[in-house]
Chains A and B, each alone.
Chain A
Amino acid sequence: MKATTNAQLHQMSDEDVMEQLQAGVIQAFDIIVNRYKDRLHNFLFRYTHNHEDCEDLVQETFLRVYRSRHSYERIAKLSTWMYTIALNLAKTMYKKKQRMTTISMHADESDPDSRDFVIEDNAILQDDSLHVKMCVSELEKALLELNEDFREVIVLRDIQQLTYEEIADITGTAMGTVKSRINRGRQQLQDILGDFVKSETF
C-alpha cells in the first residue's frame, strides 16, 4: 500500500484523516490534535476556568479519540464525535469537583500555566469600552451560573457556533429540545446579567 505523506494528510478532511488513523497512520493523530486543540480548549474552558485542568481534559479527549478510534464510524462528523467525548469528560469532571460556583477572571496563581486571554477581536481594544469589557466578564461568570443543560447548548451554539443538528447529536437530545434549551438558556442569562445587557446601554 502506498504510504500517505504528511502533506497529503494536511489536505484531507477530518473524516479522511481519522480513517488514516484507523488504518494505523500515527501522524494522523498529530493532524487531529493540531486542528482541534484550541477549539476544544476554548469549549472546555467554559467548564473549568482553569487552564491546567482544561489542558488535561483536552489531552484526555485526544487520548480517548485514539483509544476508541475503531469505534468511530463515518456517518458522524469527526468534530461531533470529539465534542461528545469532550462534553462527557467535562461533565464527569464537573460532578467530581463541583468547584465551578465561583470564578475569577484574574490570573490563577495556583495554575502554573495561567496566562492572559488572547483577545482576537481587536475592536474591543480600539473602542476601549470599559462597559463592554465588564459585560464580557459578567457574561463569563453568568455562563457558569447557568443550569448545566442550558450551558452546554449555549456554549456549543453561541461560542463554538455549531449547528442545531450537531448540538442535538452531541448532547443526545432532540433538535426541538436543543432549540428550547437555547431559548430558555438565553433568557436565564438575561435574568442573571440584568442591567448589564440593557439594549439601550449599547
Chain B
Amino acid sequence: MFSKQTNEHQIRDFILDYIDQNLSVAEVKSFEEYLSNTPELQKNVQESKVIRDLYYRMPVAKTGKNFDQRMVARFALELERETTQRNKANDFAELITD
C-alpha cells in the first residue's frame, strides 16, 4: 500500500486518519510497517497521538452562572433597539405618504 512513490499529500492524509483512528485494519498494518522504516515520522506520529489524548483530559471551559441573566438583558436591549428602529421607519413612511 505504501511505497516510495506515495506522495506527500497521501502520507499526510494517512497520518491524519491514523491519529483519528479512521483506517481499516489492513491500512493500519501497512501504515505501521511504513512508519517502522521511517523512525522520524514514527516519532512525530506517536507524539501527535499523545497530544491528541491530552485534549480529552483538557478542562472544559463553561459559561458562568450569571451568563443567562446577562444574555437575557442584552437580548432585551437588542429587541428594544429593533423596535425603536422599526417605529422610526414606520413614522418616516407615514410622513412621506402624508
Q: Are these two chains actual partners, yes or no?
A: yes
Of A2-10, A62-70, A78-86, A96-104, the one contacting chain B is A62-70
Q: Does A88 contact B (CB under 8 A)?
A: no
Specify which of A42, A67, A121 is in contact with B78 (CB 8 Å cutoff). A67
Instruction: Report yes or no: A45 in contact with B61, Cβ–Cβ below 8 A.
Output: yes
Instruction: Report yes or no: B51 in contact with A139, Cβ–Cβ below 8 A.
Output: yes
Counting contact residues on chain A (CB < 8 A from B), the size range is 35 or more
Tell me the complex Cα distance, A199–B19, Å: 14
Instruction: Report yes or no: B54 in contact with A132, Cβ–Cβ below 8 A.
Output: yes
Specify which of B59, B74, B78 is in contact with A136 (CB 8 Å cutoff). B59
DSSP majority for the B interface? helix
Instruction: Report yes or no: B60 in contact with A42, Cβ–Cβ below 8 A.
Output: yes
Tell me the complex Cα distance, A195–B68, Å: 42
Q: A32 to nearest B CB, angstroms?
A: 11
Instruction: Report yes or no: B55 in contact with A159, Cβ–Cβ below 8 A.
Output: yes
Known contacts A55-B67, A202-B53, A190 near B16 by CB under 8 Å: no
Q: A159 to nearest B CB, angstroms?
A: 6
Instruction: Report yes or no: A183 in contact with B15, Cβ–Cβ below 8 A.
Output: yes
Q: Which of A45-72 contact B (CB under 8 A)?
A: 45, 51, 54-55, 58-59, 62-63, 66-67
Instruction: Report yes or no: B52 in contact with A59, Cβ–Cβ below 8 A.
Output: no
Q: Does B4 contact A (CB under 8 A)?
A: no
Q: Does A124 contact B (CB under 8 A)?
A: yes
Residues of A within 8 A of B98 (CB): none
Specify which of B54, B63, B75 is in contact with A58 (CB 8 Å cutoff). B63
Interface residues of A (CB under 8 A from B): 26, 29, 33, 37-38, 41-42, 45, 51, 54-55, 58-59, 62-63, 66-67, 113, 115, 117-121, 123-124, 132, 135-136, 139-140, 158-159, 176, 179-180, 182-183, 186-187, 189-190, 193, 197-199, 202
Tell me the complex Cα distance, A104–B46, Å: 28
Residues of B within 8 A of A123 (CB): 57
Q: Which of B59-87 contact A (CB under 8 A)?
A: 59-64, 66-68, 70-71, 74-75, 78-79
Tell me the complex Cα distance, A186–B47, Å: 9
Instruction: Choose among B59, B64, B75 the residue with the greatest number of A CB atoms under 10 Å from its CB.
Output: B59
